[in-house]
Amino acid sequence: MSKGKSKAHGGITSRWGGFFFVLPSIIAVAIFVYGMIAWTLNISLSNKNSSAVHNPKFVGIANFTGLIHDERFTHAFGNLIKFTVVFIAGTLISGFIMALLLEKGIKGEGVFRSVYLYPMAISFIAMGTVWNWLMNSTHGEGAAGINLILAKLHLSFLQSDWYVSPKSSMYAMALPAIWQMSGYVLALFLAGFRGIPDDLREAARVDGASEAKIYRYVLFPQLSPTFLTVLIILGHISMKVFDLIIGISGKTYITDVLAVYMWQVTFDFTNYAKGAAIAMVILLMVAIVVIPYLRYVNKSEEYN
Amino acid sequence: MSSDIVDRITAHVPSHGGSNKKLTGVAQFWLVFRYISLFIILAMIILPIYVLVINSFKGPTVYLPDALNLPKHWTLSTWPEAWAALGVPMMRTLFFVVQSSIISAIIGSINGYVLAKWRFRGSKMVFTLFLFGMFIPYQAIMIPLVQFNRAVGLTGSIYVLVLAHVVYGIPICTLIFRNYYAAIPDEIIEAGRVDGASMVRIYRSIMLPLSIPGFVVVLIWQFTSAWNDFLFAIFLTGGSPSLAVATTALNFITGGMQINYGVNMTASFMASIPTLLVYMFLGRYFLRGLLSGSLKG
């Protein structure tokens, strides 16, 4: 990149001109993102276990080893894993099916698309009340919400305790999350499908491939970058799930996840060191998912 | 592959139903199958919002097994009580969200312009480090942020939320504008430079007038995410009633001991109206903001 020379889409390289205009943001991000992460790490390595501790001391990884023996933490962690698996699988499958149904174009596509995506615009604090009703656990007489719909469809055997039973609680919690994010996955896959050049399909057709084979051997392999993107997006959202749980079931043990437990430890018990340690665990899990992705995006941009 | 992601999604694909070619039996079967599936999914997606809306017009007493039925008597009787609890917090939310969105958009536009068109040594690194800030769990900065607010005397002011949404909005706003400006040909900038215009001048007279759609995307994105935000609000306002915003006030109403289903549902609907309206009228711009979070396209 030679100085001041323009490339097709590479912008213009100047030495320092632009730097000063971005500098305030660089400073803000350095302090508020990276500096504060470092400070959280610092707290997590200290003994600031209550607001009464005024001169916290360095205690090494004691708070982290403490978490391993903390039943609430391991419970919340296990819950989060269960939730993540069901949420990712469910959202991926339903979003992909929606995209398959729409990708060839159909009358009214715009309406379907808009409706499928609206859940992204509403907060879970507001939708929590609704899902709380829909996942009402009453069976048989007096059933409400989804259990009532199942009864009316003569599918009573499918009625569930939803999130009040420890067996199904996290799977039930994944349902509203799938409801919210499917449209987003649909949009990503739709963009993926429509980014595939038509010639590829045509060539396969001329070669006499059946429609099913065209999907399996021509189109699906082209979607693997989209598939990766979807996995990363859903994965990091799942690690942070918070509003959804608070909105539907509140701070209950049965649906506890790391973000909710962190809030409770920090806010209600004012155990800042432990709260910071939980936060670092969430950050670490997000980083494992996101950093390789950022590198991948960075690399593929160079070829643009 | 480099065509715009939203254009790709909304590209007009000729539908089978529209062609006057006679469909074969198999093709007809698949078309019907697709429509039936699409409508079943539609019903499932609509169900929660249907429950939200209809139960806001049933008055205070809602019997749960009736929650799926239309109201026998439509009434607005729960609205005044819901407004009494939510009105002030909603106005407060509007007040801070408008400010934080505008500031975010201005910052994002400047950053995006520089990072797309006036790269300096290390600018790519800066951009990547910004992007990571978009994905972090905010729990990882929340305790220091609360301490910071206390140290600078912001605690107790709604500006704690303006600051949070502006600062943590820098990555996404920069990203949206950078992608937007990257699509504008460099030749336009070159032409400006040949005419002797400075970087700032080119921004003001060439880029800014072209930026309206970018601003709409960012404003809508920041508006929706700040309006729906619960995490920053609950941590930074400490749950104080004098700083309650739409989500925290709503959570206080619906999570409270006093169970009044009708009022709870009305309040939930009321708090969602602003973002629902934005989505209905400006959905395309919302979609663009949403998809920029995937970094690709």
Nearest residue, CB atoms, B13 vs list A9, A105, A122: A105
Nearest residue, CB atoms, B65 vs list A33, A34, A143: A143
Residue of B nearest to A273 (CA): B143
CATH number of B79-292: 1.10.3720.10
The residues near B139 (Cβ < 8 Å, ≥ 6 apart) are A240, A259, A262, A263, A275, A278, A279, A282, A283, B231
Work out the minimum CA distance from A49 to partner chain B, whole angstroms: 13
Residues of A within 8 A of B291 (CB-CB) are: 187-188, 191
Is the Cβ pair B230, A246 closer than 8 Å? yes
Q: A167 vs A162, A172, A173, A226, CA distance in Å?
A: 9, 10, 12, 33
**What number of other Cβ atoms are within 10 A of residue A58's Cβ?**
9
Is the Cβ pair B131, A40 closer than 8 Å? no
Work out the minimum CA distance from B134 to partner chain A, whole angstroms: 9
Q: How many whole angstroms separate alpha carbon A73 and alpha carbon A280?
A: 13
Element (H, E) at B41: helix B25-54
A275 has which bridge partners? none
User: The pTM is what?
Assistant: 0.91
The distance from CA B63 to its chain's CA centroid, rounded to whole angstroms, is 33
pLDDT above 70 covers what percent of chain B? 94
Asked whether A173 and A244 are in contact (CB, 8 A), the reply is yes
Q: Which A residues in the span 238-297 are in contact with B, Cβ-Cβ below 8 Å? A: 239-240, 242-243, 246-247, 250, 259, 262-263, 266-267, 272, 275-276, 278-280, 282-283, 286, 290-291, 293-294, 297
Residue A206 has pLDDT above 80, yes or no: yes
HSE-CB at B264 with a 13 A cutoff on CA atoms is 26
Q: B297 vs A223, A297, B3, CA distance in Å?
A: 14, 10, 7
Q: Which B residues in the span 84-103 are in contact with A, Cβ-Cβ below 8 Å? A: none
Asked whether B90 and B250 are in contact (CB, 8 A), the reply is no
**What number of other Cβ atoms are within 10 A of residue A171's Cβ?**
18
Residue A241, amino acid: V
Asked whether A11 and B117 are in contact (CB, 8 A), the reply is yes
Residue A285 has pLDDT above 80, yes or no: yes
Which pLDDT value is given to residue B276? 95
The residues near A241 (Cβ < 8 Å, ≥ 6 apart) are A80, A83, A87, A177, A257, A259
- Higher-pLDDT residue of A234 and A50 is A234
B118 has which bridge partners? A12
Which pLDDT value is given to residue B3? 57
Where does the pLDDT of residue A302 fall: very low under 50, low under 70, confident under 90, or very high at 90 and above?
low
The residues near B55 (Cβ < 8 Å, ≥ 6 apart) are B62, B67, B71, B261, B262, B265, B266
Residues of A within 8 A of B133 (CB-CB) are: 29, 33
pLDDT above 70 covers what percent of chain A? 94
Asked whether B218 and B289 are in contact (CB, 8 A), the reply is yes
Which pLDDT value is given to residue B21? 60
Mutate which of A130, A132, A198 to disrupt the B interface (most B C-beta within 10 Å)? A130
Asked whether B56 and B266 are in contact (CB, 8 A), the reply is yes
Residue B200, amino acid: V
Q: A238 vs A155, A227, A254, B261, CA distance in Å?
A: 30, 16, 17, 29
Q: How many whole angstroms separate alpha carbon A47 and alpha carbon B138?
A: 22
Sort residue A160 into left (φ over 0), alpha (ψ -120 to 50) or beta. beta
Where does the pLDDT of residue A97 fall: very low under 50, low under 70, confident under 90, or very high at 90 and above?
very high
Where does the pLDDT of residue A138 fall: very low under 50, low under 70, confident under 90, or very high at 90 and above?
confident
Asked whether B292 and B214 are in contact (CB, 8 A), the reply is no
Least confident residue range of A193-197, A203-207, B253-257: B253-257
Work out the minimum CA distance from A173 to partner chain B, whole angstroms: 15
Give the tens place of pLDDT for each residue, A244-276.
Answer: 999 998 888 999 999 999 999 998 999 999 999
With the C-alpha atoms ordered B288, B291, B293, B297, is the resulting torsion angle positive or negative?
negative
HSE-CB at A286 with a 13 A cutoff on CA atoms is 24
A37: contact with B, CB 8 A cutoff: yes
Residues of B within 8 A of A149 (CB-CB) are: 68
**What number of other Cβ atoms are within 10 A of residue B257's Cβ?**
4
B119 has which bridge partners? A13
The total number of residues written for chain A in this structure? 304
DSSP B66: G
Helix or strand or coil: residue B226? helix
Residue B297 has pLDDT above 70, yes or no: no
Give the tens place of pLDDT for each residue, B191-206.
Answer: 888 888 888 899 999 8
Q: Which B residues in the span 226-255 are in contact with A, Cβ-Cβ below 8 Å? A: 227-231, 234-235, 247, 250-251, 254-255
Q: How many whole angstroms separate alpha carbon A183 and alpha carbon A294?
A: 23
Fold assignment, A71-270+282-302: MetI-like fold (1.10.3720)
Work out the minimum CA distance from A263 to partner chain B, whole angstroms: 8
Q: B129 vs A83, A228, B122, B133, CA distance in Å?
A: 29, 21, 11, 7
Q: How many whole angstroms separate alpha carbon B34 and alpha carbon A271?
A: 54
Q: How many whole angstroms separate alpha carbon A73 and alpha carbon A231?
A: 25
Q: How many whole angstroms separate alpha carbon B106 and alpha carbon A21?
A: 12
Asked whether A117 and A186 are in contact (CB, 8 A), the reply is yes
Residue B98, amino acid: V
